[in-house]
């Protein structure tokens, strides 16, 4: 699932759930830089950033029974970009953690991405770097984990030979 | 259920102060039946429905409340606005709702069909908001066919209060007599215009003036 959100995919146009997932995990610096031109005046709030808890559910091995994994802190907000029309698209963000600023910028980006005149430019300026950043992060994590890899094959063979020794001793 | 936010406007500018100010107005209105209590505008508003009623519901509703909207309000921007900001649950039938909001263009559902509460729990009754065209506590009637002039008596009123109202069904007073007779059960009502609320708790008696 994680993979599906990060890869650009066959379609050129990203769907809204995809970019919202990207924005929610984007580092704050990238959002700040890309959205600076749209962040000069405060947005028109529909819902100010507010922090709360959400229950995360998981399935054992991705297919088993659903169970409550635990609660995570989530900050959400909804807004219209400053200077936009009365019925302009509403930007919504649900972001893990308690950064109000992150939620605000993610919502601004969501609102702009729904606007065809900004969509293409912002996809290049913001979403692409975010995607690269996340891919890079994941690669680093994989490398870190790689060093702790255990060769279960070897362990199994050793334990097998132990058994043989015990049998011989008897 | 649509999730199209394009028509939704903002709620209270300051959530706590805004809703407390409206709560205060509603308390005043129920404590002094028949008095026109101004409701301060401190939120953006949907295009449908009267402002005082919209503000009242925005302040009162939460995710556990059930709300019934009359046909002209259901599906309008007021519907979406209330659901977005309060998370309230819309119900299909008026008799299931804790709050009932009747738009100015819609017929009032019969009061006895709404939730009446029980003798043990009279507070489980419905609170009904009715958008009306005209309200005046001075008793000066609006010159129109459906204008009514009432004198009110009951708890919260020293001697009697006068109220003229336009936009209610002609049999409203007889419905109200039955609502009052069912005490402690019965519904509480708010009449709403653009900027004011009038409270009519179930304890209030309405007498119509002979000639209007």
Report the pLDDT value the prediction gives residue A13, as an integer from 0 to 100: 65
Compute the nearest-CA separation of B15 from chain A (Å): 10
Task: Check A46 against B6: CB less than 8 A apart.
Answer: no
Residue of A nearest to B77 (CA): A87
- B119 C-beta neighbours (distance < 10 Å), count: 10
Domain span including residue A156: 2-165
* Neighbouring residues of B148: CB distance < 8 A, sequence distance ≥ 6: B141, B164, B165, B166, B168, B172, B173, B208, B212
Q: Which residues of A49-59 are buried (b: 16+ CB within 10 A; e: fewer)?
A: beeeeeeeeee
**Whole-angstrom distance, CA of residue A8 vs CA of residue B6:** 28
* Average pLDDT rounded to a whole number, residues A20-45: 93
CB-CB: which of B6, B10, B15 is closest to A87? B6
Report the pLDDT value the prediction gives residue A61, as an integer from 0 to 100: 84
- A-side interface with B, Cβ within 8 Å? 44-48, 78, 86-90, 92
- Asked, for residue A117, whether it belongs to a domain, the answer is yes
Helix axes B51-60, B77-86, angle to 10 degrees: 20
Report the pLDDT value the prediction gives residue A155, as an integer from 0 to 100: 59
Compute the nearest-CA separation of B82 from chain A (Å): 12
The residue behind tokens 């179930």 is B202
Interface A–B counts its CB contacts (< 8 A) at 23
CB-CB: which of A44, A47, A89 is closest to B6? A89
- Asked, for residue A160, whether it belongs to a domain, the answer is yes
Query: pLDDT per residue over A71-96, tens digit each?
Result: 999 999 999 998 878 788 999 999 99
Substitution target from B3, B4, B5, B83 for chain A, most A beta carbons within 10 A: B5
**Whole-angstrom distance, CA of residue B147 vs CA of residue B144:** 6
Task: Check A90 against B5: CB less than 8 A apart.
Answer: yes
Per-residue pLDDT of chain B (212 residues; tens, 9 = 90+): 456 788 899 999 888 999 999 999 999 999 999 999 999 888 999 999 999 999 999 999 999 999 999 999 999 999 999 999 999 999 999 999 999 999 998 999 999 999 999 999 999 999 999 999 999 888 677 677 778 899 999 999 999 999 999 999 999 999 999 999 999 999 999 999 999 999 999 999 999 875 44
Number of structural domains in chain A: 1
Helix, strand or coil, per DSSP, at residue B45: coil
Compute the nearest-CA separation of B7 from chain A (Å): 6
Summary mean pLDDT of chain A: 85
Contact B168, B108 (CB under 8 A): yes
* Neighbouring residues of A108: CB distance < 8 A, sequence distance ≥ 6: A35, A38, A39, A43, A79, A81, A91
Specify the DSSP class assigned to residue A126. I
Report the pLDDT value the prediction gives residue A12, as an integer from 0 to 100: 53
- Asked, for residue A152, whether it belongs to a domain, the answer is yes
Report the pLDDT value the prediction gives residue B187, as an integer from 0 to 100: 96
Task: Please classify residue B158 by burial: count the beta carbons closer than 10 Å to its beta carbon, then call 0-12 exposed, 13-18 middle and 19+ buried.
Answer: exposed
Task: Check B10 against A89: CB less than 8 A apart.
Answer: no
Substitution target from A52, A77, A90 for chain B, most B beta carbons within 10 A: A90
**Whole-angstrom distance, CA of residue A110 vs CA of residue A84:** 14
Report the pLDDT value the prediction gives residue B73, as an integer from 0 to 100: 95
Report the pLDDT value the prediction gives residue B140, as an integer from 0 to 100: 72
Q: Which of B128, B102, B131 is nearest to B115 (CA)?
A: B128
Report the pLDDT value the prediction gives residue A3, as an integer from 0 to 100: 45
Name the pLDDT band for A159 (thresholds 50, 70, 90). Answer: low
Report the pLDDT value the prediction gives residue A55, as an integer from 0 to 100: 95
Report the pLDDT value the prediction gives residue B139, as an integer from 0 to 100: 66
* Average pLDDT rounded to a whole number, residues A46-51: 94
Task: Please classify residue B15 by burial: count the beta carbons closer than 10 Å to its beta carbon, then call 0-12 exposed, 13-18 middle and 19+ buried.
Answer: middle
The residue behind tokens 């107005």 is B25
Domain B15-134+169-203: give its CATH code. 3.40.50.11310
Task: Check B6 against A45: CB less than 8 A apart.
Answer: no
**Whole-angstrom distance, CA of residue A46 vs CA of residue A24:** 19
* Neighbouring residues of B170: CB distance < 8 A, sequence distance ≥ 6: B146
Report the pLDDT value the prediction gives residue B206, as an integer from 0 to 100: 95
Compute the nearest-CA separation of A150 from chain B (Å): 49
Contact A76, A107 (CB under 8 A): no
- Asked, for residue A157, whether it belongs to a domain, the answer is yes
Substitution target from A17, A47, A52, A91 for chain B, most B beta carbons within 10 A: A47
Task: Check A87 against B10: CB less than 8 A apart.
Answer: no
Question: What tokens were used for B64?
Answer: 């556990």
Helix axes A16-25, A128-146, angle to 10 degrees: 60
Q: Taking CB atoms and an 8 Å cutoff, what residues of chain A touch B85?
A: 47
* Average pLDDT rounded to a whole number, residues A51-64: 91
Distances, alpha carbon A86 to alpha carbons A73, B7, B102, B116, B145, in Å: 32, 8, 26, 41, 38
How far apart are the two ends of chain A, measured CA to CA in Å? Answer: 53
**Whole-angstrom distance, CA of residue B60 vs CA of residue B45:** 16
Say which residue, B163 or A165, is predicted with more confidence. B163
């Amino acid at each position: 699932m994680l993979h599906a959100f990060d890869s650009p995919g066959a379609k050129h146009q990203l769907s809204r759930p995809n970019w919202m997932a990207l924005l929610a995990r984007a580092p704050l610096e990238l959002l700040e830089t890309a959205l600076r031109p749209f962040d000069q005046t405060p947005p028109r709030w529909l819902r100010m950033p507010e922090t709360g808890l959400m229950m995360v559910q998981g399935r054992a091995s991705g297919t088993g029974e659903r169970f409550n994994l635990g609660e995570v802190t989530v900050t959400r907000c909804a807004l219209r970009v400053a200077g936009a029309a009365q019925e302009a698209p509403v930007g919504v963000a649900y972001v893990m953690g308690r950064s109000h600023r992150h939620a605000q910028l993610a919502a601004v980006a969501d609102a702009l991405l729904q606007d065809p005149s900004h969509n293409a430019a912002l996809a290049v300026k913001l979403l692409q770097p975010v995607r690269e950043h996340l891919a890079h992060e994941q690669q680093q994590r994989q490398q870190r984990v790689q060093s702790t890899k255990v060769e279960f094959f070897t362990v199994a063979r050793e334990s097998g030979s132990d058994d043989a020794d015990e049998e011989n001793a008897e | 259920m649509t999730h199209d936010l394009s028509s939704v406007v903002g709620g209270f500018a300051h959530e706590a102060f805004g809703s407390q100010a409206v709560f205060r107005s509603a308390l005043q209105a129920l404590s002094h039946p028949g008095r026109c209590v101004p409701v301060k505008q401190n939120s953006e508003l949907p295009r449908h429905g009267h402002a005082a009623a919209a503000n009242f519901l925005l302040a009162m509703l939460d995710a556990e409340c059930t709300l019934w909207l009359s046909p002209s309000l259901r599906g309008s921007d007021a519907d979406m606005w209330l659901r977005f900001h309060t998370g309230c649950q819309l119900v299909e039938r008026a008799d299931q709702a804790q709050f009932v909001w009747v738009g100015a263009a819609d017929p009032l559902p019969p009061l006895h069909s709404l939730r009446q509460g029980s003798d043990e729990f009279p507070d489980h009754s419905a609170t009904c908001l009715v958008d009306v065209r005209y309200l005046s506590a001075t008793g000066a009637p609006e010159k129109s066919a459906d204008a009514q002039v009432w004198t009110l008596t009951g708890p919260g009123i020293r001697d009697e209060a006068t109220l003229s109202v336009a936009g209610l069904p002609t049999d409203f007073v007889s419905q109200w007599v039955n609502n009052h007779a069912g005490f402690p059960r019965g519904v509480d009502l708010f009449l709403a215009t653009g900027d004011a609320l009038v409270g009519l708790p179930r304890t209030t008696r309405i007498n119509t003036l002979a000639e209007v």
